[in-house]
Structures are given as structure tokens and as C-alpha cells.
Chains A and B, each alone.
Chain A
């Protein structure tokens, strides 16, 4: 990671944001939004994860491109596993 020493304030801001998002995601789950409940829950989780990755893990401030490639590749590979498996489960009722 970079040598860049971040001001403490950024960490506290992210911390508060994460706590707020946690409360929001828990509260929203009690509201009936049909299919969107799942979507919103996952979107909020992804936002939280991004905040941790970019700020707490310093990925936003690194000049190292390889780190970002590793992260994106791993997520993409997981996505391959999920998507191609669901290609089977999602189409079984068709044949």
C-alpha cells in the first residue's frame, strides 16, 4: 500500500457510515418491498464492503494496479461459479 498516512477523521467518517448502513439495512428488512428487499440488502452490503475495501484496506490510495486486478478477478471468478451453476438450476424446469 502507499506510504500515505490518512487523517484519522476519514476513518471515523467511514465507521459512522458503516454503522448507519447497518441500522438501515436491518430496519428496511421489516418493510415489505417484495423482491426489492433482497436487492436493497445486497446493495447496502456491497456499499459497506466497498467502503471497507477502499478506505480501511487502503485500496483507494494505492498506486498498485495489481491489487485491484486481484480483487476484481477473485470476485469475477466467484461470479462465474455462481452464474454457471445457476445456468443449470435455473433451466432445469425447462427441459
Chain B
């Protein structure tokens, strides 16, 4: 029984049309964003399921839950699903798709039909990958290293390669759409320096998607050709160099991590500004840092190959470049923190995620510097130290950014408020669960526990048990929002146009927005983050 009082409900993008065809054939960027939301959540569960089994296996030193070959498949597919089918699309395809046109005052993206095509490519890729999973999976590690993937693995390498190849094109087309939209479709008065930093960061992300993903595509294609047609490009018995594969693979896959973190930084800027009610400190520096991260991110890839056999001199070059790439990220962290100084901070759910992001991303980033140091990397490469490092950034950073953004813009997307008490509880569970899961892994790695091993010496067990315990708390923290977001769509408090009193064009239209976003094309005459002109909501507008 609907208990929500609905007086004449305004027409918006959700109620404009009903029926499955209106969703599956939509070209409305907001509906496409929701299509992505559903699909990536589904794959998040698949990847999470693999993680759960991995953590259960690692409760005991012996390999007693699954066989060794199965374990290889589990960590390989956990990585591929989480990276290619969850993290890479997540913020850009959900929040980016929804918000980019709104934030710049446009009616839609530049190419709405290509946007829908992007989603269908993602779905086709996902179906192929699911088929790969149920017909035997992939055990090459998420990285497909040759010659194991090309010559020795007995698993569904070709199918996984093709699936990720197709998913890559989904990513490329999204990036293409964003760049053209941001260049060509800004509303009158929306100059580059008035853009929200969310847009700057998504622009930088799109550059990476455009220039990096094609290299992954060709590399996977070559692996597929080699396996299917017995070409010899990576075959050592015919003079091929396995390291060539790694160079080509990491040329994309390192910038890929910036595809995953830049959008979370995009969200971070918006959250920090709103919940300190201040313009972001050093707007120009933060904007330029996004571009710098995108550019420098392409110059460091061989730091994944320090012990693989590259020359010492190139290792030195890549090590120095890897130190440099940390600088723009650090600049952003300093600027967000400086924004908070003398700000009016409210500890809403999105802000809790934002705080978590700053702390955890900083730890992840600093441990990246440890890895950039050649001497240390020799010791901790291929150990749990690396795993902890990247999970701090991808989960502690990117996923928390994603969740913070979902909560922040949920009223705009759905027209409803989520329950704030539950939101804060979930955020705290995620933070606590995350740290308990992954901090022990830094210690384990430093003590020498290798990654991708299905059994380990008994002295590592205590830390592994702690890690698994943490992962169960983390899981609860993830499930809660899924439950209460769904709940809120029916029973949540109806949201106003601007419940947070936030700056940005998206808050000037209704919640949810009409199909064409604005009743009239906005004309922008104010700077970004003009919080001095926006009244704070009486209390932060939350449901107790």
C-alpha cells in the first residue's frame, strides 16, 4: 500500500513513460544511467561472491575449500569482473551519464543513441563473460599474462578476452560522448572555469578512456588471434617476448586505475564543497591536477614490470615517473582538506564517505610510493602488500566515492530521500569493515605472504582470519544501501529540488528532473561553488 502522499505529480523522466520498451529503447541519459546502475550492481555481486569464496578459503592455511585450479579461476575472475564490469563503468556510466548534461545545462549527451549502444555493448560483453564463467572460467590472473594465456591455459581465455574487448568499446564510446558533450553543449555562460570539478575530472577520465582502451583492445585481440590461429607474436619458442604483452597490457591497465579513481575524485570535490558549504580551495589547481593525472598516468606503466625483466635503466625512468604521478593526487588531497578549514561541516552520509575517501585514498596512494621504489618493490611485488595497496584505492577510494555520490545524488535521481540513520550506519560499517579486511594485508605482504596462492604458511593465519572477518562486516555495509535505496523508492521521504542546499545546475531543476532536464535553458552568470549565495538548508534536510 503506498503510504506516500502524492498530489499532482510533476512529469519527470521516470514517470514520463512506462513499460519495458520505454526503458530498453530509451535514449534519455538519465534512464541509461539507471540501466547501468542495475547492471553494474549485478556484476558487483558476482565479483563479490568470488571474493567471499576467496576469503573463506584463506581462513585456513591449507587449501581445503576449493582446488588449486579453482582458486586460480576465482581470483582471476574476481579481478576481471570487478575491474571491467564494475569499477570502470561505475561512476562514469551511472553518475557521469546522469549528471554531465545536467551540470553543464544541456538537454542530453551529444550522442544519445551511442550512449544506449554503449550500454548494450556492456550487456553483450557481460553475457559473454557470464557464459565464460559457467563454462569453465579463466585462470590466467586478471592480467592474461603470456605465454600462459596464449599457449598453456586450458580455460576460456578467448571468450573472456572477447568479452572484455567488447566492454572496452562500451567504455570508449562513453568517453567519446562525454568529451564531445563537454566541448560542444555547455549552456550559455558556462565557461570552462565555471564548470564543477566533477566535470573536469570526468573530462580527464574520458581522455584516458579514449587513448588507453584501444591499446588494451588490440592486445587482447592479439592474444585471441594467437590462441585461435597459432600466430607467434608472444610465443617465446618462436622468438616472441612475453614482456611485449606486458608493455602493451599495462599501457592501458595502468591508466585504467586512473579511470577508476578520477571519477571518485570528481564526486569528492562536490561532496566536500557542499558539506563544508565552501568553494573548493584552489579550484584551478584541482582542475589542472585532474588533467595532469590523466597525462602522467600514461607514463608509468612499467612499474608493474620492475621484476619481470625490463632493463634497469627503463626501470629507473619509470620509477621516477611513478613518484611524479603522485603529485597531482596529493595536490587534490591538500586542497580538499584546505577547503574544510573554517568550513561549516555537516556529517551527513555522503560526507562520511567523503572523509573515508580522503583517509583511505591517502593511505593507498602513499603505499603506491613504497611500490614505486625499486628496492622495496623487489621485496613486496606479488605479495599481499600490493593487494592491500590497490584495494585501499579501488575500494577505500573509488567504491566509497561511488557510494558517497549515490547517496548525495539519490534525491535528484529518484525524487526520494534515503533513510539518513541507516545511511550513516552503513557508511561506518563500510569504513570499519574495509580497514579490518585490508590493513592486515599490508602486514601480511610485508611479512612475505605471496598473492594468488591458495595455501599459506600457518604463521599468517591470524591476520588472514582478521581479514576475512572484516570482509563480512564490509559485505553487510554494502548490502544495507541496496536494501534501503530500494525501500526509499517506495517509502522514502519525497525530496525537494535541492535538499542539501548544494551549488550546481543539477540542483536547480526538479527532483527527479524532467526528461529534457530544464524547463528553460539556464544562463549561467555565477562562478562554481557559489555557496555564499546559497542559503543553507534549515538543518541538513534528512529523515531521522
Contacts and interface: CB of A to CB of B under 8 A. Distances in A.
Indicate yes or no for A touching B, C-beta below 8 A: yes
Interface in A48-74: 66, 73-74
Interface in B298-331: 298-299, 301-302, 310-314, 317-318
A77 to B, nearest CB: 5
B251 A81 contact: yes
Contacts of B215: 81
A88 B314 contact: yes
Contacts of A66: 183
Interface residues of B, number: 18
A31 interface: no
Given A66-B183, A92-B311, A95-B311, A87 B211 contact: no
B221 interface: no
A88 B310 contact: yes
Which range holds the interface residue count of chain A? 10 to 19
A84 interface: yes
A24 interface: no
A85 B251 CA distance: 9
B243 interface: yes
Interface majority SS (helix, strand, loop, mixed), chain B: helix
Nearest to B184: A66
Given A92-B311, A94-B311, A95-B311, A80 B317 contact: no
B302 A88 contact: yes
A91 interface: yes
Contacts of B301: 84
B247 interface: yes
A87 B298 contact: no
Nearest to B298: A80
Given A80-B298, A87-B314, A88-B314, A74 B183 contact: no
A94 B214 CA distance: 32
Interface in B177-204: 183
Contacts of A94: 311-313
Interface majority SS (helix, strand, loop, mixed), chain A: helix
Nearest to B211: A77
Contacts of B302: 84, 88
Nearest to A85: B247
A21 to B, nearest CB: 28
A95 B313 contact: yes
Contact of B311 (A73, A81, A88): A88
A77 B255 CA distance: 13
B313 A91 contact: yes
Interface in B243-281: 243-244, 247, 251
A66 B183 CA distance: 9
B259 to A, nearest CB: 15
A74 B313 contact: no
Given A74-B211, A87-B311, A88-B247, 19 more contacts: A73-B211, A77-B211, A77-B298, A80-B298, A80-B299, A81-B215, A81-B251, A84-B301, A84-B314, A84-B317, A84-B318, A87-B314, A88-B243, A88-B310, A89-B311, A92-B310, A94-B312, A95-B311, A95-B313
Interface of A: 66, 73-74, 77, 80-81, 84-85, 87-89, 91-92, 94-95
23 contacts: A66-B183, A73-B211, A74-B211, A80-B298, A81-B215, A81-B251, A84-B299, A84-B302, A84-B318, A85-B247, A85-B251, A87-B311, A87-B313, A87-B314, A88-B243, A88-B311, A88-B314, A89-B311, A91-B312, A91-B314, A94-B311, A94-B312, A94-B313
